[in-house]
């Protein structure tokens, strides 16, 4: 009897090991032999091709035996707009794809794909509310309905708060799923949650999530963010100037220095520039200095914006857009991004706008005269 039971267990193991994990999809309206491409999200979340197949009789499939656990995959079909994402599971995944809207496709298979759908559907609902509010606010402005506009503005702030809280709750409650890491990555991009809180959420993730390529990218980015916390010491850097020379942070420093990441194409940056110019003109003789690092791509547009906005201070850039080396080293994921440092290169303020910048500069210089 024991031998029979042992044989049954061995057979069960062999059968389970022989089972294939596949992605099986149905799609209507696509001709036979149309190519289908599967990519994984690799380093820096960039797609890396992994397999190719074709549509036959309205179906196609991919073998999922290769790849890391919970691997993010992307499907692209020749001649079909958009793409779709799914998570590799240890089981077959069935999908019903819609030619005119791949991103609304229905996926059946695995807890992580269920979580992905829940997460994305919730965000889509939040985005829909935000878009409608923006339309209503523009209409209120047109009709000079200030009271209605201000009320909707408060509603907008509340929706944004709910969005952040939802992502935080999702990341904390699904620590064994890579979708939680996706939520944490989104929170990092929003820059509305303190770095210490982001790190605490990451620390709560399972080892499998931490060892995932996205998990490793997260900890790298968190390490970069910690370098820009108030109290951190900034390392020296240098880059080309508009005149063709090279300028370092040490060469540009004053008693108090604003490190300003911006670009000529960044509308919020250009809108804030008059305020920065005003603060600079009022405090430059007291030791206030600015060094601006541009994420521009062309020198002409960079120089023209400097002249137009009357930014009469230090400027540097490698003209490499989001690949600007200094911005990458600092973990900059959105602009404008500004950092105030003292004479010892310690960060004493971050992302101060409008009157908040003026008050901080005035207070610091008065107290450190």
The Cβ of residue 170 has, within 10 Å, a number of other Cβ atoms equal to 22
3-class DSSP state of 24 = strand
* DSSP-based helix, strand, coil % in the chain, nearest 5: 50, 20, 30
pLDDT at 279 over 70: yes
pLDDT at 104 over 80: yes
* All residues at 6 or more sequence positions from 171 whose CB lies less than 8 Å from its CB, including other chains: 180, 181, 183, 184, 187, 201
Q: What is the pLDDT of residue 19?
A: 53
> What digits encode the pLDDT tens for the residues 303-350?
999 999 999 999 999 999 999 999 999 989 889 999 999 999 999 999
Q: What percent of the chain shows pLDDT beyond 70?
A: 94
> What digits encode the pLDDT tens for the residues 109-152?
889 999 999 999 999 999 999 999 999 999 998 999 999 989 99
Task: Name the pairing type of β-strands 337-342 and 347-350.
Answer: antiparallel
Q: What is the mean pLDDT of residues 31-45?
A: 87
What pTM was computed for the model?
A: 0.69
Q: Where are the domains of the chain?
A: 19-108, 112-226, 238-367
* Confidence category of residue 253, pLDDT binned at 50, 70, 90: very high
Query: Do residues 257 and 359 make contact, with C-beta atoms less than 8 angstroms apart?
Result: no
Q: Supply the CATH classification number for the domain 238-367.
A: 3.40.30.10
DSSP bridge pairs for 40: 48, 73
Query: Do residues 67 and 51 make contact, with C-beta atoms less than 8 angstroms apart?
Result: no
pLDDT at 14 over 70: no
Task: Return the minimum-mean-pLDDT range out of 15-29, 191-205, 222-236, 301-315.
Answer: 15-29
Nearest-Å Rg of the Cα atoms of the chain is 26
Q: What is the pLDDT of residue 65?
A: 79
Superfamily for 19-108?
Immunoglobulins (2.60.40.10)
Strand order in the sheet with 22-27: 59-63, 22-27, 93-97, 106-108
Q: What is the mean pLDDT of residues 39-68?
A: 88
pLDDT at 366 over 80: yes
Among 288, 284, 291, 295, residue whose Cα is nearest residue 250 = 291
């Amino acid at each position: 009897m024991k031998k029979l039971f042992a044989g049954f267990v061995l057979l069960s193991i062999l059968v389970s090991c022989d089972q294939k994990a596949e992605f099986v999809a149905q799609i209507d309206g696509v001709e036979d032999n149309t190519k289908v491409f599967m990519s994984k999200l690799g380093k820096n979340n960039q797609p890396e091709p992994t397999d190719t197949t074709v549509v036959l009789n309205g179906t196609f499939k991919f073998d999922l035996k290769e790849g890391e656990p919970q691997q993010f995959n992307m499907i692209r079909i020749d001649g079909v707009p958009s793409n779709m994402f799914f998570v590799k599971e240890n089981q077959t995944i069935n999908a019903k794809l819609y030619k005119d809207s791949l991103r609304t496709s229905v996926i059946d298979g695995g807890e992580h794909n269920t979580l992905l759908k829940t997460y994305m559907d919730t965000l889509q609902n939040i985005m829909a509310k935000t878009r409608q509010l923006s339309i209503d606010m523009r209409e209120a402005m047109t009709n000079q309905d200030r009271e209605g506009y201000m009320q909707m503005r408060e509603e907008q702030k509340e929706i944004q708060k709910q969005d952040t809280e939802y992502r935080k709750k999702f990341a904390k409650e699904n620590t064994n799923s890579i979708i939680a890491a996706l939520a944490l990555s989104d929170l990092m991009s929003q820059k509305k949650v303190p770095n210490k809180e982001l790190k605490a959420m990451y620390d709560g993730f399972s080892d499998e999530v931490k060892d995932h390529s996205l998990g490793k990218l997260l900890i790298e980015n968190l390490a970069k963010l910690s370098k820009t916390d108030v109290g951190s010491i900034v390392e020296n850097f240098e880059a080309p100037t508009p005149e063709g020379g090279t300028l370092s942070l040490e060469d540009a420093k004053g008693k108090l220095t604003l490190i300003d990441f911006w670009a000529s194409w960044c509308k919020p940056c250009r809108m804030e520039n008059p305020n920065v110019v005003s603060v600079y003109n009022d405090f430059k003789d007291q030791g206030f200095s600015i060094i601006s690092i541009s994420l521009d791509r062309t020198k002409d547009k960079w120089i023209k914006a400097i002249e137009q906005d009357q930014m009469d201070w230090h400027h540097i850039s490698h003209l490499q857009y989001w690949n600007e080396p200094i911005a990458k080293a600092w973990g900059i994921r959105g602009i404008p991004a500004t950092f105030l440092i003292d004479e010892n290169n310690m960060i004493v303020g971050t992302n101060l706008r409008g009157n908040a910048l003026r008050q901080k500069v005035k207070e610091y210089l008065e107290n450190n005269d």
